[in-house]
Amino acid sequence: MRILFWAGLLLVIFGIASFFVPLPRNETRGVEAGDVKIAVKVHRSERVPPAVSAVLILGGVGTMFAVTRRKTG
């Protein structure tokens, strides 16, 4: 039961962090013609949609609540 509680807490932490921390993403785009290659590296930082963050938080809280209720009940 303790493992599920800690997993729920971890989901809550990831959910809260996903509101503030963007996910980095690197891409390389280029053209190749024979022996010549021209490439450009693109760096993007994208945030997770708020709905996904809310699902993580609610899932974590629900897991923690279910484990706590099961222990006492």
Enter the pTM of the model: 0.70
Half-sphere exposure (CA, 13 Å, Cβ side) for 54?
3
Predicted pLDDT at 51 = 95
What is the per-residue pLDDT across 22-73, written as a single tens digit (0 to 9) for each?
Answer: 989 999 989 988 889 999 999 999 999 999 999 999 999 999 998 887 666 5
Q: Where are the domains of the chain?
A: 2-72
